[in-house]
Amino acid sequence: MFDRVVVGATDSEGAERAFRRALALTQATGGTLHIVAAIDGKKDAKGTPWLPEEFRYTAFGAGATDWLLIRLKKEAAEAHVAVATHPVLDDPAGAIAKVAAEERADLVVVGSGSAHGARRLAHVPKAVMDHVGCAVLVV
């Protein structure tokens, strides 16, 4: 049913919930989990502005976004889920929509962006729902 599931990755509580749900759904259906991280080149390169671009995706040059993707990929692999990571130079909603289109996603899982169970959606889940052509699960 959900062969290609896309989920956004950040270090927020909502994104962590979305990842957990996406991982469980993908594990149950035997599909592939596509983990997307939006990269802001200026913010992610803090601390190593002198580092040449060709070293960006080495262990030495990895930024916070890279380490997050490494951790989530490892966790998905340990759960025996096929996984692909997608660091994308774009805003979060744009990055998720881009990967969902490229991978022909069946489902996108996003956090609500609201703290403490509030029923108001933040900008990212709204924008994702407006720009993807597949089902969207908001957790």
Say which CATH number the domain at 105 has.
3.40.50.620
The distance of Cα 77 from the centroid of its chain, to the nearest Å, equals 15
| DSSP codes joined into one string, 97-112 | HHHHHHTT-SEEEE--
pLDDT by 10-residue block (mean), the chain, 139 residues: 92 91 96 91 49 54 78 96 93 94 96 67 86 92
CA distances from 33 to 29, 45, 107, 138 (A): 10, 26, 10, 16
CA distances from 96 to 49, 67, 92, 93 (A): 26, 18, 6, 5
* Residue-number span of the structural domain to which 32 is assigned: 4-138
The enclosing H or E element of 66 equals helix 64-78
Say what the pTM is.
0.82
138 touches 96 (CB < 8 A): no
Dihedral over Cα of 48, 49, 53, 54: its sign: negative
How many domains would you assign to the chain?
1
pLDDT for 47 equals: 46
pLDDT tens column, 61-86: 557 788 899 999 999 999 999 999 99
